[in-house]
């Protein structure tokens, strides 16, 4: 083949690779521009205290978004994570209050509550995975149904009010959220750890490659002998575990759970994933972009709180607009 023809055929591939690299830096560039705008709008924005506050509040959604990233890459969706977190928080508090009288050590009681949160998260994820794969029900329908089920059970357990953690336990538990290491709050360290593990699993393991292959083309993955159902079930269990971890960090913040706990967390988690560059149709995405997307949304909320550009009550509307705009920009992209 003549060299000129080879060079001509190689140009589109190089252009596509360059566009892919530029697209990957999009969320980071957006975050930088937002930080510059925030600094110009309010001098209190560019302070260490405000930065730590933003990152601390990002931790819950960021951790859940890491699990959501796996689900969306595999071609699924989960609309129930906010209700799931609320029910797990309520069950944690009920069990910890119950066993506190029979177990003398508050630390042991809190450890039991943490293990329960992780176990419930994994079980709820397992239920989602089984209904979607073995029951052949669309993820949207399954998780929309459990969204209502989880929140209804929390309301029932709380008798329409709030479930509050025992004061003695709350004092021992509070450093999990309010404590810090090297000046950085514990929830931020946990977010970093979860993100690193998520990136390692997604990019360096066979399971991560199977998740991407299923999201890219499920039938081809089946022909390639990938255990599609098992991988999907594991993906929803992974998201459930992430919800459990986020709940473990959330409970000591307020020490209670009510029917309003976790409202719109699913919207924020999904928005973080797609703003971070993960394709809505599945098959491709990154944990780094997801975490950057979560921070970016928190920065938007923080700027709205610090300034009077629009009402803070419109924060969810801003996130909704961001989802629609990014989805519009992603149309046609796998």
- pLDDT (tens digit, 9 = 90+) per residue, 256-290? 888 888 888 888 899 899 888 888 787 888 899 89
Chain centre to alpha carbon of residue 172: 27
Residue 85: what pLDDT?
A: 94
CATH class, domain 43-332, is mainly alpha
Distance CA 314, CA 265 (A): 15
Structure tokens at 263: 């409202």
Residues in the chain, how many?
Answer: 334
- What digits encode the pLDDT tens for the residues 158-206? 888 889 988 888 888 989 888 888 889 999 999 999 999 999 999 999 9
Distance CA 301, CA 234 (A): 33
Main-chain dihedrals φ then ψ at residue 135, nearest 5 degrees? -85, -10
Q: Which residues of the chain have pLDDT under 70?
A: 1-24, 312, 319, 327, 329-334
Query: Positive or negative CA dihedral for 72, 190, 305, 266?
Result: positive
Residue 34: what pLDDT?
A: 79
Question: On the CB side of 57, how many CA atoms lie within 13 Å of its CA?
Answer: 14
Distance (Å) of CA 21 to CA 27, 40, 222, 276, 326:
12, 29, 30, 13, 17
Burial of 281 (0-12, 13-18, 19+ CB in 10 A): middle
Structure tokens at 33: 């521009």
Residue 156: what pLDDT?
A: 92
Q: Contact at 8 Å (CB) between 92 and 82? A: no
Q: Contact at 8 Å (CB) between 75 and 273? A: no
Structure tokens at 298: 């928190």
Cα-Cα-Cα-Cα torsion 174, 316, 58, 293, nearest 10 degrees, comes to 170
Distance (Å) of CA 271 to CA 139, 266, 320:
17, 8, 8
Residue 17: what pLDDT?
A: 53
Residue 126: what pLDDT?
A: 96
Distance CA 265, CA 81 (A): 7
Distance CA 50, CA 211 (A): 37
Residue 24: what pLDDT?
A: 61
Conformation bin of residue 311: beta by default, left when phi > 0, alpha when psi is -120 to 50: beta
DSSP H/E element including 257: strand 256-257
DSSP 8-state code for residue 314: G
Angle at 199 between CA 194 and CA 201, to 5 degrees: 95
Distance CA 86, CA 157 (A): 11
Residue 28: what pLDDT?
A: 80
Residue 36: what pLDDT?
A: 85
């Amino acid at each position: 083949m003549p060299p000129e023809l080879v060079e001509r055929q190689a140009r589109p591939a190089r252009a596509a690779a360059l566009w892919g690299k530029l697209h990957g830096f999009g969320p980071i560039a957006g975050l930088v521009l937002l930080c510059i705008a925030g600094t110009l709008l309010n001098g209190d924005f560019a302070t260490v205290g405000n930065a730590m506050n933003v990152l601390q509040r990002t931790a819950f959604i960021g951790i859940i978004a890491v699990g959501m990233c796996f689900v969306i890459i595999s071609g699924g969706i989960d609309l129930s994570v906010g209700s799931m977190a609320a029910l797990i928080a309520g069950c944690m508090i009920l069990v910890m209050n119950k066993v506190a009288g029979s177990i003398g050590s508050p630390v042991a009681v809190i450890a039991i509550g943490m293990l329960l949160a992780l176990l419930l998260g994994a079980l709820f994820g397992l239920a989602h995975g089984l209904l979607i794969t073995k029951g052949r029900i669309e993820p949207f329908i399954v998780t929309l149904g459990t969204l209502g089920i989880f929140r209804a059970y929390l309301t029932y357990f709380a008798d329409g009010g709030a479930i509050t953690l025992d004061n003695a336990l709350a004092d021992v538990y509070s450093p999990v959220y309010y404590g810090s290491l090297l000046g950085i709050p514990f929830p931020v360290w946990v977010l970093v750890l979860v993100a690193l593990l998520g990136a390692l699993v997604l990019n360096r393991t066979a399971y991560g490659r199977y998740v991407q292959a299923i999201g890219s083309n499920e039938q081809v993955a089946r022909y390639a002998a990938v255990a599609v159902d098992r991988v999907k079930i594991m993906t929803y269990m992974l998201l459930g575990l992430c919800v459990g971890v986020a709940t473990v960090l959330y409970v000591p913040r307020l020490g209670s759970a009510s029917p309003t706990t976790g409202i719109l967390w699913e919207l924020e988690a999904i928005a973080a994933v797609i703003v971070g560059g993960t394709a809505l149709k599945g098959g491709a995405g990154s944990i780094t972009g997801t975490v950057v997307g979560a921070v970016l949304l928190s920065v938007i909320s923080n700027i709205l709180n610090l300034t009077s550009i629009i009402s803070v009550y419109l924060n969810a509307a801003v996130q909704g607009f961001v989802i629609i705009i990014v989805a519009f920009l992603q149309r046609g992209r796998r």
